[in-house]
Amino acid sequence: MSEPTTLGSELTRALLERLTALGDDELVLGHRDSEWTGHAPILEEDIAIANVAQDEIGHAVLWYGLVEQLGGPDPDRLAFFRDADEYRNAALVDRPRGDWAFTMARQFLFDAYEAELLPRLERSSYAPVADAAAKVRREELFHLRHSALWLERLAHGTDESRRRLTAALDELLPLLPGLLAPLPGDAALAAAGVYPEAAELADAVLARVGAALEAAGLARPTLEPPADAAGADRRQRPDGVLAALLAEMQSVARSDPQAEGW
Amino acid sequence: MTVTDRDPLAHEDPRRLAEFEARIAAGEKIEPGDWMPSEYRRQLIRMISQHAHSEWVGMLPEGAWITAAPSLRRKLILIAKVQDEAGHGQYLYHAAETLGATREEMVDALLEGRAKYSSVFNYPTLTWADVGMIGWLVDGAAIKNQVMLAGCSYGPYSRAMVRICAEETFHHKQGQEMVRRYAAGSPAQRRMAQDALDRWWWPAMMMLGPHDSDSPNTPLLKRWGVKVKTNDEVRQEFLDEHAPELLEAGLSIPDPELRFDEATGHWVHGPIDWDEFWRVVKGDGPMNAERLAARRQAHEEGRWVREAMAAHAARAASATGAVPA
Amino acid sequence: MSHAADTQWPRWEVLKQDAEGKPHQAVGSVHAADAEHALLMARTVFARRPSAVSMWVAPAASVRSFTAQELAEREAPTERAPAAGAPERYLVVRKASHRRSMAFGELVGEVEGANVDEALAAALARLAGEPVLALWLVEARAVVRSDPAEADPWFGPARDKTYKQQSVYSSRATARQDAAKGVPR
């Protein structure tokens, strides 16, 4: 294990932003997945989606834990006491649950993104990030196998499943660049070898997604890599979807100012 | 031995019946494929499928709070717990399938309102503390029943129960942990915990089933080693364990007649409102309609998904010339 | 309420190995659309907690089951079918005890036979003198197996989910201390 990079204050600030965004993506996606618990199409898949939800939320705890180590708030503070305008997740993960095709398509896009992100993060010069990435990657292998299986089956299932899958992708694919867009501090992190270079990562993810869609007999989308400034995407919440999600998620935690813990 | 007005065993071959009962008396497990009285099969399918339905419906009251769990740890615990309930339903449907019932038939019976499930899941979860109280009381009561059933004479049911018991202790403990914390927490948390106990105490006491005198199936099920204890015996175990623990946590139990009997060493409870119990069992509980509606909705919304997978598998099988499973 | 016939998908028997060197055990079944899906569902249903290193699935239709009672009452095959072509291989799963268990029985080996009768005879010959309370013959070519090279990502992560283990929950005394200190976890 290499010595952890000593981060200056600028890099620390940038890394805090990035780790928060990583955690927020995982938490919000896990939250959406957890909405299926008890309502999935069949018992076995109910168990499977609850597993994915636990994994993603567990990953959020890992990333938030690194925020805390760098002097930030603790994970519960981050999750339950920030408002929507302070969250840094991509819009892709906070869209409402939708049907099973939407959930599996979204999960596939996120899993494909992580399949490219995590091996790169394992080479981070900041050892705690590399270690956390290794843990997350272990679980993501199964996620990708599961969501890719569904993508392929729904594409070649019935007319209805193909129609629903296509509709889901039509809504989701335009949001993929927002997931890949760099945050303002990412370039500095990339220069220090802490975080992968945004454009190279985006190209790899888009190539992987395009190839998988093509293999499933779906139209290969024309996806433009995100513009540099698109990281701002993560802060724009014009439609109140995230705010509504958080209002429910945080309702009990914020209900009792005298409570010292739950 | 006549257990009901019409003897369900009248048509059975006496020699086979005697052999069967001797095997059970000797502690052997009955396996699928073994000879069994048709009444044994019928009672087991009834019990196991009701038990499976209870797990599946039982995901709903607590599942409703997953999206509002107040810490990341509580959120993970609750998802895992409700997930386990799906798993337990899955194991139990499997056990019933070994008796010749299909999951399609069992699911249909539930959704069409022809099957029963535990009355306790027809009560609403009004606050977050209900999640803890369900873990402590409802799972506490369920474990007493499940430990007993782990010793049951039918192999697949016994095995499902052994697996479930190993997982269910976590459900009980996380609930206990929550309620104890809230009972010693802020004034609002204490109120929430007491209110939850006030509402869940009697449903938990009732869920272990009617008094032995009103439980017509019990004698035969005991004779065949399906139930090893009566409903009242299991309820007494639950009471003896939980009453002192709840009191120690600083909560009051909503039963003015509850007392510890020094002479017997057992706790004694006041009368149970069996009218309410039967009302809820027969479909008139506060949440019966909602629970079934939620199950039906998930089933209907999942139909196209199940059909798509089946269509894909059929096409793949015909492409390779393989016979579909 | 009337609706089209539902499908819960076919059933697949699941064999799980808890640790290297231990036999695979028949732990239950899953409903899944196809073999690849069945293996994922087996992991999902039976490896939520850390006690697996390998998992196999087989279509329920590929499993022949015989209890001791059925074996005792079974009539000897009058005419052995001629052994045409290559013999079929079967996994043999045996239930050996009435003790309480999570598993039906465990894998004791493989046999060959031109048909089920031959395979059964071979299995019983191999187990002669040992307790056989029930026996399964599973068509070996129908079995789909998890990849040993992926055992860690398949089964390792469950170890980190300590919140599912009863042992992490505080005793009565520490719960009171935690509550007093407001410890959130």
Whether B295 and B257 share a structural domain: no
Q: Mean pLDDT across chain A, nearest whole number?
A: 93
Q: Which residue has the higher pLDDT, C83 or C116?
A: C116
Please write the tens of the pLDDT for every residue from A34-84. Answer: 999 999 999 999 999 999 999 999 999 999 999 999 999 999 999 999 999
Q: Is B101 helix (H, G, I), strand (E, B) or coil?
A: coil
CATH number of the domain residue A205 falls in: 1.20.1260.10
Residues of A whose CB is below 8 A from C161: 54, 58
- The nearest alpha carbon in chain C to A45 belongs to C41
Is residue A235 domain-resident?
A: no
Is residue B279 domain-resident?
A: no
- The nearest alpha carbon in chain C to A261 belongs to C184
Yes or no, beta carbons of B72 and A41 under 8 Å apart: no
pLDDT at C81: 60
* CB contacts < 8 A (B, C): 141
pLDDT at C183: 45
What is the mean pLDDT of the segment spanning B301-310?
98
Is residue A119 domain-resident?
A: yes
- What b/e string do you get for A158-174 counting C-beta neighbours within 10 Å, with b at 16 or more? bebbbebbbebbeebbe
Yes or no, beta carbons of C153 and A139 under 8 Å apart: yes
Residues of B whose CB is below 8 A from C11: 97
- By the 8 A CB rule, do C126 and C92 touch? yes
Domain around A42: 9-228+240-249
- By the 8 A CB rule, do A155 and B299 touch? no
CATH number of the domain residue B72 falls in: 1.20.1260.10
- Indicate the Cα dihedral angle B290, B295, B298, B302, nearest 10°: -160
Count of structural domains within chain B: 2
Domain around B118: 14-273
Listing DSSP states for A156-196 in one string gives TS-HHHHHHHHHHHHHHGGGHHHHHPPPTTHHHHHHTTSS-
Closest CA to A201 of A215, A212, A211, A187: A187
Beta bridge partners of B125: none
Which residue reads 């708030």 in tokens?
A73
Listing DSSP states for A3-67 in one string gives PPPPP-HHHHHHHHHHHHHHHHHHHHHHHHHHTTTTTSSSHHHHHHHHHHHHHHHHHHHHHHHHH
Closest CA to C39 of C56, C18, C22, C61: C56
Listing DSSP states for C135-161 in one string gives EEEEEGGG-EE--GGGHHHHHSGGGG-
- Residue A221 predicted with pLDDT over 70: yes
B325 → closest Cβ in C4, C27, C59: C59
Whether B135 and B46 share a structural domain: yes
Which long-range CB contacts under 8 A does C170-174 form with residues at least 24 apart?
C170/B177, C172/B180, C172/B245, C172/B248
Closest CA to B72 of A65, A110, A36: A65
Residues of B whose CB is below 8 A from C7: 104, 306-307, 310
C69 → closest Cβ in B27, B34, B112: B34
With 0-12 / 13-18 / 19 or more C-beta atoms within 10 angstroms meaning exposed / middle / buried, residue B114 is exposed
Please write the tens of the pLDDT for every residue from A80-104. Answer: 999 999 999 999 999 999 999 999 9
Is residue B7 domain-resident?
A: no
B70 → closest Cβ in A39, A40, A252: A252
Is residue A234 domain-resident?
A: no
Is residue A259 domain-resident?
A: no
Please state which of the ranges A152-166, A241-255, C150-164 shows the lowest mean pLDDT.
C150-164
Q: Subunits touching C (CB < 8 Å, at least 3 pairs)?
A: A, B
Is residue B3 domain-resident?
A: no
Q: Indicate the pLDDT class of residue B6, thresholds 50, 70 and 90.
A: confident
Whether B235 and B108 share a structural domain: yes
Is residue A91 domain-resident?
A: yes
Q: Indicate the pLDDT class of residue C89, thresholds 50, 70 and 90.
A: very high
Listing DSSP states for C84-146 in one string gives -SSPEEEEEEEE---S--SSS-EEEEEEEESSHHHHHHHHHHHTTTS--SEEEEEEGGG-EE-
Question: What span, in angstroms and rounded, lies between the C-alpha atoms of B15 and A196?
Answer: 76
**Tokens describing residue A242:** 């995230």
Whether B97 and B143 share a structural domain: yes
Is residue B282 domain-resident?
A: no
- Residue C96 predicted with pLDDT over 70: yes
Please write the tens of the pLDDT for every residue from B75-95. Answer: 999 999 999 999 999 999 999
A253 → closest Cβ in B70, B90, B178: B70
Whether B123 and B216 share a structural domain: yes
Whether B302 and B254 share a structural domain: no
Whether B139 and B220 share a structural domain: yes
- By the 8 A CB rule, do A187 and A206 touch? no
Count of structural domains within chain A: 1
Whether B37 and B120 share a structural domain: yes
ipTM at complex level: 0.95
Whether B145 and B293 share a structural domain: no
Whether B261 and B306 share a structural domain: no
Please write the tens of the pLDDT for every residue from B13-52. Answer: 999 999 999 999 999 999 999 999 999 999 999 999 999 9
In angstroms, the separation between the Cα of residue A223 and the nearest Cα of chain C is: 30
Yes or no, beta carbons of A139 and C33 under 8 Å apart: no
